[in-house]
Structures are given as structure tokens and as C-alpha cells.
Amino acid sequence: MKAPPYRIFLSPPFLTGAETAAMNAVMDSNWLAPVGPALTTFEEDLCRYTKAPHAVALQSGSAALHLSMVLLGVGPGDEVFVSTYTHNATVNCIIYQGAKPVFIDANPGSWNLDITILEAALEERAARKKLPKAIIVVHLYGNPVDMDRVMALAKSYKIPVVEDAAEALGSTLNGQALGTFGDLGVLSFNGNKIITTTGGGALLTSNAEMAKKALFLATQARDEAPYFQHSTIGYNYRLSNLLAAFGSAQLTKIDDFIAKRQLNFQLYSFFFKRMEEELGYPVVQAQYLIDGASSNHWLSCFVFHFPSLAEQVIAALEKAGIEARYTWKPMHLQPVFESYEFIGVGVADHLFESGVCLPSGFQLTHLEHHEICTIIKKVLLENL
């Protein structure tokens, strides 16, 4: 598929200017193989920023998710409860291990996994003595899941929790970084995320044993021997030293990145509020934040109260060279996952049909924001 010639992208990366010097320093040091000191520094930076006791930098968020399943011993015959309203990588990691995802519907307010449904599903499985091996929750578009409730539930059934915080670096719940509540937390540094290493990810944990094992598995599972000896299957998942330097440079600007993304969201929210005042009725709904939550607002997403508006808004923006997108298509609606169980009533289906993600980049200008809102306004006035 050829990319349309966008002028304004959904979530483009932003170079701080420090990346080139950081990477040049690594090249001058010749620490290109094997892994080197910049990688350790990046992991320390991540620990400092998130207050996670351990961080293991990897080649992608997908690799971090896969390792999380390996570390928790998820295997053939196991079930893993997972939010349906997410990126496909959240689910692929379960399939890689030969296990079965059970999709949990979204909450209409937060758009995150519905904890009341999760609770009922766990109760039902407990009665059948068939509890899931793990639970994966996703902080969708940076919006914090109620981790206190999830962890209390998971503890009562002794089920480990993986937090997919790929979109949520910099979001907090009662001041605590997302990705540090669960047994394992996953970050992504893909090109479109809050910070980037062009491609990369990390696994966060407070468990030293787990961190050590993650490191071992991510570097081909080499036994302690003077030659290449292996007693278990490993992976080549470690982030390169060069890209780690890139990541550290990006991380120095994360507060600015987040402030701008939050501002983007506020400006869109003001615009929709003015539209609603003009029209006299509600037009859109955004994600509700639970008490104590702060979202990085990685993407500015809104669900329209009227059918077909999402499609028309995306098309009108596209015509002007502006990239807007549908929200994630729920996993239980994906052809590749249609044989797996879904527990819910179709809330995620509705959010997907009526939702849009608007341009949310750090470099979005006031003028561009105005242009985007003018186009949306035209679509609304023609259709409402």
C-alpha cells in the first residue's frame, strides 16, 4: 500500500538535536558489538524516569511482550485474558507461545479493559478451575487502567499481570509511572510513540530474578561457559548500543513531548466543546480519566455520537493531506483471531466504528490545528 502524501502526520517522531551527537559518540567509541555502555545508561535513564527497579531494553515493544509471556511460563493449552481494544502485538505474543487469548471488552468510559467484566470472567473460570495463566492490560492511548483494582483482583486469584504501557510512557496513576504496577511492564520506542529509538522497547520489573532471566533470554540464552552453550531456547531481542544512545537523547525531552501532546488534546477538546455549544447537543466523547490518573495523551482520540462521522472526518482530512486514523480495530473482530473467545457486549466494536485519532505530533502548529478543526467543523455542519 502506497502512503498518501501527507503534509501533517498522525504522530511523527521529533528529533531533539542531541541524537546525532549521542550516536556519533558511540561510533567513535566503537561499542557497536556486542552491547555496550550506552545501553546500560539508557536502562538506568528509564529506571530513573519510571522509578522501575529494573529495565531491560529490547528491539521492540513486541519483543518485550513476547518475553513477558515466556517469563511467565505461558504455553500451549494456557489461556491469557487480554483487552480486545488494542494493537495486535498485545495478542500476538500469546499466540507465539501456543496459548489462547480470551478477549475482554472495553469500558465505555475509559476505553480500557472493563474490570467488571474481568472480575465476572475470573469468577466464572475459578468455578470451572480453569483460571488464565496471565492477564494483559493495556493503557490505551496513554490512559491509565485502574491498576489498584486490577492488581487486587489478580492477587486474589494469584494470576500475574502484564501492563502493556507501550503508549503510556509518562502517564501516571497517583504519581506512579505506568508499567510499574504489574509483575511486568512493557514500553515501546517505535517511531510513532512518545519517545523513539526508531524501533525499540523495554521490559520493566521490580523482580531482580525476572530481569536477569529477561536479559539472558534476550541474548540467545547463553549458558555460563567458555563457548556457546545453550540449555534453553533464547532470542536475539537486545536493543543495540547505538540506538540506546538515541533513546537517552530523546528521553531528556520527554516532559516537553508530553506537555505538547496534552496541549494538543486540550485544544481539540476546546474545539469540540465550542461546536457542542453552537449545535446545542453533545458531539463527541473522549476517554474518562479515573481519580488520580494523568494521561500523556499520546494520541488525541474522540468517539463521535453519530454514525459515519468518523469515516467522513478521516476522508475529509485525508483529502487535505492530513493523516487521521480509526482507533484500533478490536482484536475479536480481526479475521486472524476470530476463532478465540470474546467476553463482552460489543462496547469496543462501537468505539471502533465511531472513533478517530487526530494528528497529535509534538510539532503540530497552532495554524495546523486550526486548519484541522476547520475541516472537521465543515464535516459536522454538513452532516448534523
Ligand X SMILES: *Cc1c(COP(=O)(O)O)cnc(C)c1O
**Residues forming beta bridges with residue 245, ordered by sequence position:** none
Is 241 among the residues that bind ligand X (CB under 6 A)?
no
Collect all residues with Cβ–Cβ distance below 8 Å to 152 and sequence separation of at least 6: none
Min separation Cβ 308 and ligand X, Å: 26
For ligand X, the closer of residues 102 and 309 by Cβ is 102
Please report which helix (H) or strand (E) contains residue 211, including its range. Answer: helix 208-218
Q: Which three cell numbers, joined as nine digits, stand for 243?
A: 540506538
Place of cell 531491560: 56
Is 354 among the residues that bind ligand X (CB under 6 A)?
no
Is 167 among the residues that bind ligand X (CB under 6 A)?
yes
Is 190 among the residues that bind ligand X (CB under 6 A)?
yes
Q: Which of 11, 68, 86, 287 binds ligand X (CB under 6 A)?
A: 86
Within its chain, how far is the Cα of 116 from the centroid? Answer: 22
> Of the candidates 297, 290, 284, 289, which has an alpha carbon nearest to the alpha carbon of residue 355?
284
Question: Is the separation of the CB atoms in 244 and 238 below 8 Å?
Answer: no
Is 295 among the residues that bind ligand X (CB under 6 A)?
no
| Helix intervals (H) in 280-365 | 309-319, 347-354
Min separation Cβ 50 and ligand X, Å: 16
Place of cell 534453553: 232
For ligand X, the closer of residues 138 and 380 by Cβ is 138
Distances (CA, A) of 328 to 88, 315, 333: 9, 17, 11
Q: Number of residues interacting with ligand X: please give it, by CB under 6 A.
A: 14
Min separation Cβ 195 and ligand X, Å: 12
Site for ligand X in 59-78 (CB under 6 A): 60-62
For ligand X, the closer of residues 168 and 293 by Cβ is 168
Question: Is the separation of the CB atoms in 81 and 192 below 8 Å?
Answer: no
Min separation Cβ 135 and ligand X, Å: 15
Min separation Cβ 138 and ligand X, Å: 5
For ligand X, the closer of residues 31 and 42 by Cβ is 42
- By CB under 6 A, which span of 12-20, 82-90, 111-119, 251-259 interacts with ligand X? 82-90
- By CB under 6 A, which span of 58-66, 143-151, 224-232, 333-341 interacts with ligand X? 58-66
Q: What is the CA radius of gyration of the chain?
A: 21
Show the binding pattern over residues 105-144: x = contacts ligand X (CB under 6 A), - = does not.
Answer: ---------------------------------x------
Phi/psi of residue 220, nearest 5 degrees? 70, 15
For ligand X, the closer of residues 182 and 283 by Cβ is 182
Q: Measured on CA atoms in the order 55, 197, 188, 338, is the torsion positive or negative?
A: negative
Min separation Cβ 155 and ligand X, Å: 24
- By CB under 6 A, which span of 84-92, 106-114, 223-231, 245-253 interacts with ligand X? 84-92
Question: Is the separation of the CB atoms in 167 and 160 below 8 Å?
Answer: no
**Is it true that the peptide bond before 34 is cis, omega within 30 degrees of 0?**
yes
Site for ligand X in 200-239 (CB under 6 A): 201
For ligand X, the closer of residues 92 and 275 by Cβ is 92
Place of cell 486469584: 157
Residue 136 three-state SS? strand
Min separation Cβ 90 and ligand X, Å: 5
SS3 assignment for 160-197: CEEEECCCCCCCEECCEECCCCCCEEEEECCCCCCCCC
Q: Which of 54, 87, 213, 369 binds ligand X (CB under 6 A)?
A: 87
For ligand X, the closer of residues 189 and 362 by Cβ is 189
For ligand X, the closer of residues 201 and 272 by Cβ is 201
For ligand X, the closer of residues 11 and 376 by Cβ is 11
Please tell me what DSSP assigns to residue 365.
-
* Residues engaged in binding ligand X (CB under 6 A): 60-62, 86-87, 89-90, 138, 164, 166-167, 188, 190, 201
